[in-house]
Amino acid sequence: MSEKFELLDKLARKGSTFKFQNAAKISCLDIRSLKVLLSRMEKDGWIERIEKGKYLIIPLGAKKGKYTINEFVIGSTLVEPAIISYWSALNYHGLTEQVPTTVFIQTTARKKKPELEIFGVKYKIIKVNENKLVGYETIWIDDAKVHITDQEKTIADCLDKPQYCGGIIEVAKALQNDIDLNKIIEYAKNMNNSAILKRLGYLCDKLGIPIDISHTYLAAGVPLLDPSIDRKGTTNRKWKIMVNMDEKMLGELE
């Protein structure tokens, strides 16, 4: 068996993607020779580069440039740790009818290029503090392990950053599903952002959903209901939030 076949066979046994370090551990070649070998394998259509040092294995019979794998699998290779989140997770859990054109990924790591396009798919990497990287579950897509936020953490994240889920209206729609509100509240407390609780309380009031949030957790300051649109609006004194959108839009969701 040639070096190329042997290396590819060993890598394929571990998954459909690999890093240069993985190949270096398996191969007996020195770094320079391995780089040359991987370059040849790429030219021959056996592998395709995802980004520097990361590769996709092209199955036998498939054509390079026309074959790809699930975008969540690719997204999970871009940074470590990687958690599929925001609008992408909202869609995965069936909490929105909208199909996002970007894959959103949470991480605590710093990425030099937080916005990428790979095989025609856009990826956005959002760096968060350690206390926000919680509430995720593990799913399997083909032979790959992928981490994705659970339903309630997804909604908490979207309340935290509505601009990453298509706006506050998408969060309001999601809240009308079978959701554990107490779990969202606990996530919000751990994330240490009272704006999440203010947006949640306001939306639940407007949607007629009973909710119990102690006002001791509503810190000073008046955040925008939806940071993704204009700042103009009126202040809701109960929830200490600036309502910068037409409330009739929320009424139509009831």
CATH topology of domain 3-57: Arc Repressor Mutant, subunit A (1.10.10)
pLDDT band at 13; cut points 50, 70, 90: confident
pLDDT over 70 at 117, yes or no:
yes
Specify which residues 48 forms β-bridges with: 56
* pLDDT tens, residue by residue, 144-198: 899 999 999 999 999 999 999 999 999 999 999 999 999 999 999 999 999 999 9
pLDDT at 252: 61
pTM: 0.86
Which two three-digit tokens encode residue 7?
Answer: 């290396």
User: And the tokens for 110?
Assistant: 């710093």
User: pLDDT digit string (tens) for 91-100?
Assistant: 999 999 989 9
Smallest CA-to-CA distance from 157 within 171, 177, 143 is with 171
Could you tell me the two tokens for 197? 């609780």
What does the pLDDT read at residue 182?
96
First to last CA, the chain: 65
pLDDT at residue 253 above 70? no
What pLDDT, on a 0 to 100 scale, did the predictor assign at position 38? 93
Nearest to 86 by CA among 171, 4, 144: 171
Burial group, residue 225, by CB count within 10 angstroms (0-12, 13-18, 19+): buried
Task: State the Cα–Cα distance between residues 103 and 75, nearest whole angstrom.
Answer: 7
Res 249 pLDDT > 50 = yes
User: Per-residue pLDDT tens for 19-67?
Assistant: 999 999 998 889 999 999 999 999 988 999 999 999 999 887 666 666 6
Chain-centroid distance of CA 14 in Å reads: 24
**pLDDT above 50 (res 143):** yes
Task: Please say if the pLDDT value at position 1 is more than 60.
Answer: no
Q: Which amino acid is at 225?
A: L
- The ranges assigned to domains in the chain are 3-57, 71-251
Summarised one tens digit per residue, pLDDT across range 190-246 is: 999 999 999 999 999 999 999 999 888 888 889 999 998 888 889 999 999 999 988
pLDDT in the model for residue 65: 67
The torsion angles phi and psi of 112, rounded to 5 degrees, stand at -60, -45
Helix (H, G, I), strand (E, B) or coil at 206: helix
Provide CB contacts within 8 A for 196, sequence distance 6+. 156, 159, 160, 184, 187, 188
